[in-house]
């Protein structure tokens, strides 16, 4: 009963390094999302994929890229990490985009030094 699985759970990077955050869901959901959560700011959408083969920008896409590898997997890449990208990153999925509840992973805590 895994749901949404994110790897890694924790990571420390140096400024300028690159990294890919992995996300996989086993609920046969069509839509997947990446959020970041910063203190006092709630969750903000970085990118989402309404269906396999499509990706769209969210509220805060700058500095990130995504790949919807297949229906199960949606990865988030930081090409050149900056201290402002220190955050907790959550992946989510839903049966379809719109008024369907999203199911979240447990997050990746990322620190950029």
Kindly list the residues in this chain that would bind other proteins in the complex (CB under 8 A).
4, 31, 33, 35, 40-45, 48, 50, 58-59, 90, 92, 97-99, 101-107
Q: What angle do CA 98, 3, 87 make, to 5 degrees?
A: 75
Q: Which is nearer to other proteins, 17 or 61 (CB)?
A: 61
Q: Which is nearer to other proteins, 58 or 63 (CB)?
A: 58
Q: Which is nearer to other proteins, 41 or 69 (CB)?
A: 41
Q: How far is the CB of 23 from other proteins (least distance, A)?
A: 11
Q: What angle do CA 58, 98, 89 make, to 5 degrees?
A: 40
Q: How far apart are CA 7 and CA 31, in angstroms?
A: 19
DSSP string, 23-57: EEE-S--SEEEEEEE-TTS-EEEEEEESSTT--EE
Q: How far is the CB of 56 from other proteins (least distance, A)?
A: 8
Q: Which is nearer to other proteins, 17 or 50 (CB)?
A: 50
């Amino acid at each position: 009963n895994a749901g949404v699985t994110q790897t890694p759970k924790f990571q420390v990077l140096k400024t300028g390094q690159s990294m890919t955050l992995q996300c996989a869901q086993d609920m046969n959901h069509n839509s997947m999302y990446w959020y970041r959560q910063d203190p006092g700011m709630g969750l903000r959408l970085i990118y989402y994929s309404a269906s396999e083969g499509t990706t769209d920008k969210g509220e805060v896409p700058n500095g990130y890229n995504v790949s919807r590898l297949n229906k199960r997997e949606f990865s988030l890449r930081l090409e050149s990490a900056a201290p402002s990208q220190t955050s907790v990153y959550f992946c989510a999925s839903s049966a379809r985009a719109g008024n369907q509840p999203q199911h979240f992973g447990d997050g990746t805590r990322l620190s950029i030094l």
